[in-house]
Structure 1
Amino acid sequence: MLKRLSQVFLFSVSFTVILMGCNKDIPEPETNSRLSPVNGLYIVEPIPVTTVMAEGPRDFFVKHIVQGNDVLIECIVDGVSFRSSSETKAKFVVYVDGKKTEEVSAAAFKVRNLPAGIHHIKLEVVKDDHSSYFLTKEFAVQIQ
């Protein structure tokens, strides 16, 4: 019993020594970076970082329902408006099977009179001046 207890004690002491010895031996990252840290720089307030791509919405959500030969589409685009008086006015360019069919200035609309079969619908969010927000959604619908 005493021999077993001394083995457990030696094992736990050895394990503790190994753990304590390893905690300060953190390897340096292996990079060829020419950057060096700046010491003594204190940022009092956050510095905003913007890019051209950061303007406007980053994503949008689409829900669609097939009703006979029509497809009802509802969209949520955060950060833009579809009202003509808004500064952030946007619209959708609608493509059906790769062909531009219409431009829509509403968040909910219908694509009407689709023939039977599978159709690929693509929505692109653009600004009122037709410049792109680089947002597109694509989905397929089946008309019976």
Structure 2
Amino acid sequence: MATIASTVQPAADAKLLRFALKQDALGSGAIGVVGVVAAAIFGEMFGLPAAFLYPIGVFLVAWAAALFFLAARPTMSRVAVGAVMAINAAWVVASVELLIAGWFPLTGLGTALVIVQAVVVAGFTGLQFAGLRKAG
């Protein structure tokens, strides 16, 4: 009977997965800090209310910390990595919904930001998936 490991072993094969998680953490943390520190300034530039950007920034800082923690573990839970990928996918879907529904009066720069960050998050998710598969 074959069994499926519930953790990713600390092998060289997990390097891609750790890299993808750390890059996701760096990007999320940077955007989160900007959202917390300069929500009013960037909100005006992007057409997003500071009251929206501030809690998103706080979430992203916490998210980045969780991603760094996960990537630093000697072994990583496949369930945790799967949850990261699912949350990232939900983020991308929510970004598309934000654009389609017109929830905010985005500026051209705001629209570009939403598109670019959604593409980057999708890319991180793809790398995480590839890293998880490679780690066996």
TM-score, with structure 1 as normaliser:
0.21
Greater share of residues in strand = 1
Greater share of residues in helix = 2
Larger Rg: 1
Q: Which fold has the larger relative contact order, with Cα–Cα distance below 8 Å and residues 6 or more apart in sequence?
A: 2
TM-score, with structure 2 as normaliser:
0.22
